[in-house]
Chain A
Amino acid sequence: MHELPQQLANGLILGAMYGLIAIGYTMVYGIVQLINFAHGEIFMVGGFGALTVYLILPAGFSLGAAIPLMILGGIVVSVAVATAAERFAYRPLRSAPRLAPLITAIGLSIVLQQLVWQFYPDAKKDHPFPQFKGEAISLFGANIQPGGIFLLIAAPVSMIILGFFVNKTRTGRGMQATAQDPDTAKLMGINTDRIIVTAFAIGAAFAAVAAVGYGLHNGQVGFRMGFILGLKAFTAAVLGGIGNIYGAMLGGLVLGVAEALATGYMADVPGMELFGGGSWKDVWAFALLIIVLLVRPQGLLGERVADRA
């Protein structure tokens, strides 16, 4: 058990990224009951948006100074794509059967991947992303790279801002009302179309922040990066209780830590020698989802469905 702090740190970094992406799934689901399967690609285009900002900045700009601009660029691109998707792909289908927007989301996901692959320069294979040079920081016996630090700071800061927004602002209150009863929200004078767009935009902004963290942490971005990460983040959202923003972050962290621990220690469990190492981590992640859903179908922090009626 000599590497426990390191495994935990790796798990929390991964989990912070899952959680940030999961917010987008959970907010959109909470308000329009749509699983936006294109959200992984919203995350991906945010990474390319941030990269583009870095590439067009004049030489001599330090990465530290560029980061805020890169985050902003990523957010602009992700939010633009997400709100356009809402307006032109999902809104016309709002009263259609559930399956129609779901299939549209999957189609949109493929379209976005292919657009980046086709038209972004040199995006046919993974594209290098700038990384901080410098030593890893040692914390509680774990070595954490600067990219990891970014994610470990970004996740709680984003959650505090979101919690304040949802609970303390007028739009946030309107969002809660729309999630609980959309028709009655309209009777209160709430423009529910605008609330829905806002939910898509917030989810996209969080995904863009996660994408910058992904790039800094892994040193590259690629057109396929949103696919499996999107699935994992969706898993995190369900694990935490879909529709609950704190559940999304908690689900992300639990999933990330579980994956890291399984990767690090499963091989030490007698009889499980074959199932250790990184290649089995997705199996453990989804196995965890199944177990949680069997024991607690509403997810860790989820509301019982009966409350929604």
Chain B
Amino acid sequence: MTALLEVEDLRVAYGKIEAVKGISFTVEEGQVVTLIGTNGAGKTTTLRTLSGLLKPSGGSIRFNGKPLDGIPAHKIVALGLAHSPEGRHIFPRLTITENLQLGAFLRSDKEGIAKDIQRAYDLFPILGERRKQAAGTLSGGEQQMLAMGRALMSQPKLLMLDEPSMGLSPIMMQKIMETIVELRAGGTTILLVEQNAQAALSLADQGHVMEIGKIVLSGTGQHLLHDESVRKAYLGED
């Protein structure tokens, strides 16, 4: 059986500076896979390349058996790859409902969309309470919920979450992590990028540690969580 996402020797450069220097990993259906590492390790660049916002300078990406080379970002969503970007990037002057509707931009099944919007409100009740409010007025954590809900609206085969815990209060962060567990239980495949290594590894099936553009260590979430070098470098232990 082939993996849902296969990344092989992926390279991405900004001008002459290579930000991702040949990384390979796979995501199997139903798994939660996480990329951890410090700022500037190339995690966000990797996700932006997978969703077509950046062009790779080398290597290959296969999604659901199909190569993604040269496919523009707006068509990659249609293949079932959704991306909740770093910094949330909700549409600030549109309402919460309108933001969710935009997540379903490529769908035409009105009833299904209405049902999925309701599902997003069930997942995040606060969004339902504020559905008519401009999204820019939400708190950071609420915006993160909206960004995740919006990404789910395209009914993705693979959901990519970039730093969902960034800048959130511990309570809000816990809520977001619980949601990821809930989504996995519902069968959603997730590629999670996080700086919060502890939280990410404890719920991931597979983890990869990135350092300046390369994967330096891979293993199951539990394995990495107990790996000495990871504990030292990312979990703040001596």
Asked if A189 CB lies within 8 Å of chain B CBs, one says: yes
| Pairwise interchain contact A173-B136, C-beta atoms closer than 8 A | no
Q: Please provide the chain B residues from 53 to 81 with a CB less than 8 Å away from any CB of chain A in the complex.
A: 53, 72-75, 77-78
Inter-chain contact B92/A183, CB cutoff 8 Å: no
* B91 closest partner in A (C-beta): A180
CB pair B85 A180 closer than 8 Å? no
Q: Which of B51, B52, B74, B154 has the most CB of A within 10 A?
A: B74
Q: With a 10 A CB-CB cut-off, give which of A174, A181, A184 has the most chain B CB atoms.
A: A184
A108 nearest CB across to chain B (Å): 27
Partner of B91, one of A170, A176, A189, A191: A176
A contact face: mostly helix, strand, loop, or mixed: helix
Specify which of B74, B82, B98, B136 is in contact with A186 (CB 8 Å cutoff).
Answer: B74
Q: Does A303 contact B (CB under 8 A)?
A: yes
Residue interface bits A168-187, CB-to-B below 8 A is 1, else 0: 00100110110011011111
Q: A170-B105, A173-B101, A173-B102 are in contact. Are A186 and B94 (CB under 8 A)?
A: no
Chain A 182-205, CB-CB to B under 8 Å as 1, else 0, gives 011111111110000000000000
Any chain A CB within 8 A of the CB of B141?
Answer: no
Q: Which residues of A contact B93 (CB under 8 A)?
A: 176, 180, 303, 307
Residue from the list B53, B74, B83, B98 in contact with A191, Cβ < 8 A: B74
Chain A residues with CB below 8 A from B103, complex form: 188
The yes or no answer to B115 lying at the interface (CB within 8 A) is no
On chain B, the residues within 8 Å of A303 by CB distance are 93
B52 contacts across to A, CB distance below 8 A: 186
B74 touches A192 (CB 8 A): yes
Closest B residue to A309 by CB, please name it.
B92
Q: How many A-B residue pairs have CB under 8 A?
A: 66
If A183-B85, A186-B74 touch, does A307 touch B105 (CB 8 Å cutoff)? no
Which residue of A is nearest B147, CB measured? A184
A175 to chain B, nearest CB (A): 11
Q: In the complex, what distance in Å separates the CA atom of A173 from the CA atom of B72?
A: 20
Known: A180-B93, A307-B93. A188 touches B77 (CB 8 A): yes
Cβ A189 vs Cβ B94 within 8 A: no
Interface residues as binary, A293-308 with B (CB distance below 8 Å gives 1, 0 otherwise): 0000000000100010
Chain A proximity of B55: nearest CB distance (Å): 12
Q: Is there an interface contact between B53 and A186, defined as CB atoms closer than 8 Å?
A: yes
Contact of A180 among B53, B92, B105 (CB under 8 A): B92
Cβ-based interface call for B132 (8 A):
no
Contact call B85/A189, Cβ cutoff below 8 A: no
Within 159-194 of B, Cβ neighbours of A (below 8 Å) are at none
Residues from chain B with Cβ under 8 Å of A181 in the complex: 89, 91
Contact assessment for A184 and B74 in the assembled complex, using a CB-CB cutoff below 8 Å: no
In the complex the two chains form, what is the Cα distance from A47 to B52 in whole Å? 42
In the bound assembly, the distance between CA atoms of A159 and B89 in angstroms comes to 30
A184 touches B85 (CB 8 A): yes
B216 CB within 8 Å of chain A = no
- Contact between chains at B92 and A187 (CB < 8 Å): no
Are A189 and B92 interface neighbours, CB within 8 A?
no
* Contact residues in A for B126 (Cβ distance below 8 Å): none
Closest chain B residue to A181, Cβ basis: B89
Residue of B nearest to A303 (CB): B93
Q: Chain A CB within 10 Å — which of B77, B91, B98, B150 has the most? A: B91
Residue contact B101 to A189, C-beta cutoff 8 Å: no
Name the B residues within 8 Å of A180 (CB-CB): 91-94
Whether, in the assembled complex, B3 has its beta carbon less than 8 Å from a beta carbon of chain A, the answer is no
Interface string of B30-62 (1 = CB under 8 A from A): 000000000000000000000111000000000
Q: Does B217 reach chain A (CB closer than 8 Å)?
A: no
Decide if A189 touches B53 in the complex (CB within 8 Å): no
Q: Residue B106 at the A interface, CB < 8 A? A: yes
- Does the CB pair A189–B106 fall under 8 Å? yes
- Name the one of B85, B91, B106, B154 contacting A177, with C-beta atoms under 8 angstroms: B91
- In the complex the two chains form, is A189's CB within 8 Å of B154's CB? yes
Task: Return the CB mask of A69-110 against B: 1 if under 8 Å, else 0.
Answer: 000000000000000000000000000000000000000000
User: Could you tell me if A184 and B91 are in contact, using CB atoms closer than 8 angstroms?
Assistant: yes
A-B contact pairs, 9 of them (CB 8 A): A170-B105, A174-B102, A180-B93, A180-B94, A187-B151, A188-B102, A190-B74, A192-B74, A303-B93
Besides the known contacts A180-B91, A191-B72, 5 further A-B residue pairs in the complex with CB atoms under 8 A apart = A174-B105, A176-B91, A180-B93, A186-B52, A188-B102
Q: Sorted from nearest, which 4 A-B pairs have the closest CB atoms?
A: A186-B73, A189-B77, A189-B106, A184-B89
